[in-house]
Amino acid sequence: MAVPQTTNANDISTVIAGLAARQANRPKGPKLSGPKRAAILMLALGEQYGGKVWSLLDDDEVRELSIHMSTLGTVEADVVEDLLLEFVSRMSASGALMGTFDATERLLQQYLPSERVTGIMDEIRGPAGRNMWEKLSNVQEEVLANYLKNEYPQTIAVVLSKLKPEHAARVLAILPEDMALDVINRMLKMEAVQKEVIERVEQTLRTEFMSNLSQTRRRDAHEVMAEIFNNFDRQTETRFITSLEEDNREAAERIKALMFTFDDLVKLDAGSAQTLMRNVDKDKLGIALKSANEEVRGFFLGNMSSRAGKMLLDDMAALGPVRLRDVDEAQALLVNLAKDLAAKGEIMLTKNRADDELVY
């Protein structure tokens, strides 16, 4: 890859910020979000040209780029070339890029302090769809209450309002009684909380609480293994899960509960499903549904107009036989896209919608 020698890190960082801030409008090929385009570009720049750029980005920019870099998977060479031609006047691409958690972490460690890399990677790793508040809901109530009792009651009220009610109740029960009553009154009077306030609370929790917690608590082995299983192809995943069920059914069930798979997309609400489909290439959706069961296929078709559904079925029929590997890649693309949209708050992922059902 050739990069003009007159290009400096400030120029590059300006373009990176621009790419991450807007949607792509490419005339052909898959449509990529701004952050994904920026992530591909940073991977392409590599160690030689990327070091100074990373140092010029703030923590939020680094974190967002890292999330997208670590879930890119394979990026075809022509996509890389299009992006780099947009960025500079000339380049040459020698092959595809592979974005993974490990590759992202190794790259960040070249240029950022280790504690900063640890915080970023701890934030972006974990089961599918888990954002800051979902992670906080998995913190033991004694640990969370011990931290919150040193915060302002209004801050505690904001935090508890974002947690699941059963978890918030357990935390409140542990807080000193006077403080707990103050927090309850504030929650009763609380109106819509400004986005900026939520972001400040999230940042404080991330830097002062979650980062310290991650350094003192070993990650759950089942959680780590669920991430690994999420990256298996279908045949490998089935083979290992089947063997593990025979050897240790409890561990297998815990891993499956932490995984987020293509079939779990049927648990999306209608609005989230439609948002997902607006952001995915229709050809990829057709390939992903080639081997899907009737429930999954019916779910996606049910969230389309009858005309769009008929067009999709016609396109799928025209595809003819499709390699299982291509189907797996297309399904993985949809799952990763769903994770990206959930991380940005555009859709909500869940493994179980039982809590949302209505009882009459």
Confidence at residue 260, expressed as pLDDT on a 0 to 100 scale? 77
Instruction: Specify the range with the lowest mean pLDDT, choosing from 130-144, 207-221, 231-245.
Output: 207-221
Give, in degrees to the nearest 5, the angle at Cα 287 between 233 and 279. 100
Is the pTM higher than 0.75?
no
Determine if residue 194 is left, alpha or beta; phi over 0 gives left, psi from -120 to 50 gives alpha, anything else beta: beta
Q: pLDDT value at position 90?
A: 35
- DSSP sequence for 265-304: GGGS-HHHHHHHHHTS-HHHHHHHTTT--HHHHHHHHHTS
Q: State the span(s) of the chain assigned CATH 1.10.220.30.
A: 132-216, 260-353
pLDDT in tens, 285-319: 999 898 888 888 999 999 988 898 899 898 888 88
- pLDDT at residue 184, as a whole number: 92
Q: Is residue 2's pLDDT more than 60? A: no
Q: Which helix (H) or strand (E) holds 99?
A: strand 97-99
Report whether pLDDT(125) > 50. yes
Average pLDDT, the chain: 75
Structure tokens at 88: 């500079």
Q: For the segment 154-180, what is each residue's pLDDT rounded down to a tens digit? A: 889 988 888 888 888 888 998 988 899
For domain 220-258, the CATH class is mainly alpha
Q: Which residue has the higher pLDDT, 36 or 119?
A: 36
Architecture of domain 260-353: Orthogonal Bundle (1.10)
Its CATH class, for the domain covering 132-216, is mainly alpha
* Cα gap 176→182, rounded to integer Å: 10
- For residue 114, name the pLDDT band (cuts at 50, 70, 90): confident
Give residue 197's pLDDT.
Answer: 79
Q: Where in the chain is the domain with CATH 1.20.5?
A: 220-258
Give pLDDT, residue 102: 64
Average pLDDT of the segment spanning 265-294: 88
Q: Does position 150 have pLDDT exceeding 70, yes or no?
A: yes
pLDDT digits (tens, 9 = 90+) for 184-215: 988 888 877 777 777 788 777 777 776 565 55
pLDDT for res 8? 57
Question: Of residues 347 and 180, which shows the higher confidence score?
Answer: 180
